[in-house]
Structure 1
């Protein structure tokens, strides 16, 4: 296992959000990426915060089948968003359109250079003033801590989700042994144009969608921090468990970067085998206060991933 140091990237993020502290929220951020040697074909990419007027974006891209798609989306999606004439007034519309345009542009690149064929999930959190928009296509997840309680800002797009399965089957796809068309463990992603029957270049929708699901909220004083993690994190952490863990660490040292390292370390202790990426954005300079969050006493003997799959089945 090799843990890549996030210090330089974190420094760049902090430089980019200094002005935003005066304009809206006192953001301070950290991130860490770990690569497991037994999954060399998978890559997670994350970019530093982009200073966009009074907006900041925090994307995570988790590639599969190679690095090309994740690298391409990392380099193009933020630019496509900010260069849209309707940004930032029509933020939700612009972000959705930008995901689809970036995916189509990658398809054109693959048609010229077939060796670039691969795919990536993508989640980006955009903070614009007091608004927080999360756009997700895939199984990365963003979780907000509000007064110590976990609020999921995204849904995992996996084949066991009933709504996703219904959408897929209506478009001619199928779920086989928990995989989309027997091939992919996610139902939304950018790229994967080389996989037969997944997407249609002629403009028609295929079972694998690059369209993100969006969630937009207005931040309040109770909102403490946002955790964005690749699916490897959520395979071993429940959302509330991750919030509890992060709050305890921040109360101890109030170091966001160190907290990211500790989440990665804890995930490894719990047996995580996938690539691990964590991004944290804190909305206050002070550590979170001590609170008691009432939760039902539940004994569990299945993994966090299993519980999340069960939740998908129950919620649709």
Structure 2
């Protein structure tokens, strides 16, 4: 009996060794596919001032009249930015806050748009958390909602339009970088509000939570490699999920779905999971955030902290400060959307004032440095869509060669986190 038991143990150990070997083989192939390029490097502690974009889209007809309009914003040289906006009918307001935190660079991006389509008010909110570089997240900010609004079935079959747009945008991004040796990726957690109907789509480990009568309800489920259905999908595709500080695809990527990540694309897909919700008077606010918040702030805490603030911008700032004070080592970006129903008093239709608010964000010395394809179908209408929060959270300007160097350096260092 002892020999039999010992023999079984040896068989189990051999199986585990085989899985580890497969993971290491995928990791080695992933690293070998990247080439080293020489470029000027800047000290990791050096901070570059961000550039705010103020421009009008010259392809208005093809892109449903999209225009970029800067709103109330505050930004400092330490990689921190915040801002807010209120809808003219007084039924919705939102605020955002974004902080580089302990990371040496900012890879989080965000986007908010609003427009009228066939008499329907449409609002779109998105959080994009890059990894292995910022290029994928920035591409999503510039293209994902634009592609969605141009989908011929956006109003008639919104869920299908979101699903097809996510995967098309992923293909377009991979095609745009086919001649480069970069392999960055990004999450996307988006909320699309058409009238009172809400669609929340998610790829990766950013998250959207809604408050209903003071209770936090998650509207997305993080795509982690150890999620049973995700692990089964990856292994059925020939991949391996293994432990390397946390569960990772091939021992490399700490999420199971993402845009980009060309070398792992067979296993790391950009197919979104979508939840629908009809909003009524019990729903109070939405919180969309990158995992820099969710790693240290539970859903219930996020909702209670946001509800305690009078304005969504101050709520977003409070969430960012709380995440940092609780030890988040990642970039932290969140959007808070306040919902006001007919029974609630309407807000004045004005842009949020620029009253200065005290922010408990440490200075640089206190922080540890650690193409769109046009379709033949005609758009339903030609509405004017406005980008409400027009700035990237990128606190430093980079040349093309610098971005490549950073991406390659991070990839060569090993596992990739969001």
TM range (shorter): 0.7 to 0.9
**1:187 pairs with 2:256:** yes
3-state secondary structure, aligned to 2:281: coil
TM-score w.r.t. the length of structure 2 is: 0.60
2:295 to 225, 230, 235: 235
- Evaluate the alpha carbon distance shift between residue 87 and residue 38 of structure 1 in structure 2; reply closer, same or farther with a 3 A threshold: closer
Q: C-alpha displacement at 1:185, in angstroms? A: 0.4
- Give the RMSD, CA atoms, in angstroms: 1.7
Give the one of 317, 322, 327 matched to 1:266.
322
1:49 matched to 2:113? The reply is yes
2:161 corresponds to? 94
- Aligned counterpart for 1:80 among listed residues 131, 147, 151: 147
Q: Superposition pairs for residues 128-167 of structure 1, below 5 Å?
A: 128-167=194-233
- Distance, in Å, in 1 between the alignment partners of 2:321 and 2:207 is 18
Matched, 1:5 2:81: yes
Matched length: 261
1:166: how far off? Answer: 1.0
- Report if the CA contact (8 A) 1:43-1:62 is conserved: yes
Q: Which residue matches 1:256?
A: 312
1:223 counterpart (270, 274, 283): 283
| Distance in 2 (alpha carbons) for counterparts of 1:52 and 1:208 | 35
Q: Relative contact order (C-alpha < 8 Å, sep 6+): which is higher?
A: 2
Q: Is the 8 A contact 1:52 1:82 kept in 2?
A: no
Structure 2 CA distance, aligned partners of 1:114 and 1:79?
Answer: 27
Tell me the alpha carbon deviations over residues 31-50 of structure 1, each in whole angstroms, 9 at most, x when there is no partner. Answer: 0100024342x500001223
Q: Deviations over 1:163-191 (max 9, x none)?
A: 11111111111101010111100101001
Q: Among 209, 212, 220, which residue is 2:272 paired with?
A: 212
Superposed CA deviations along residues 146-178 of structure 1, whole A, max 9, x for unmatched, are 001111000000112111111111111110101
Alpha-carbon contact 1:131-1:219 (below 8 Å) kept:
yes
> 2:306–2:336: 8 Å Cα contact kept in structure 1?
no
Structure 2: tracts of 5 or more residues without a match? 1-76, 346-418
Question: 1: CA distance between counterparts of 2:212 and 2:185?
Answer: 33
Which protein is richer in helix relative to its size? 1
Distance 1:145 1:39 in 2: 33
Structure 1 residue runs without a partner (length 5+): 200-205, 288-316
SS in structure 1 opposite 2:178? Answer: helix
Question: Deviation at 1:235?
Answer: 0.7
CA distance in 1, matches of 2:136, 2:79: 22
Equivalent residue, structure 1, for 2:97: 32
Equivalent pair of 2:107/2:129 in contact (CA under 8 Å): yes
Once residues 211 and 242 of structure 2 are traced to their aligned partners in structure 1, the CA distance between those partners, rounded to angstroms, is 36
Instruction: String of CA shifts for 1:211-269, please: whole Å, max 9, x gaps.
Output: 0000001001000000111001111111112112222x22xxx1111111111111111
C-alpha contact 2:82 2:317 (8 A) present in aligned 1: no
The TM-score, its normalising length taken from structure 1, stands at 0.79
Q: State the match for 1:283 in structure 2.
A: 339
Mapped pair 1:108 → 2:175: yes
Q: Distance in 2 between matches of 1:94 and 1:230?
A: 24
CA contact (8 A) 2:99 2:320 kept: yes
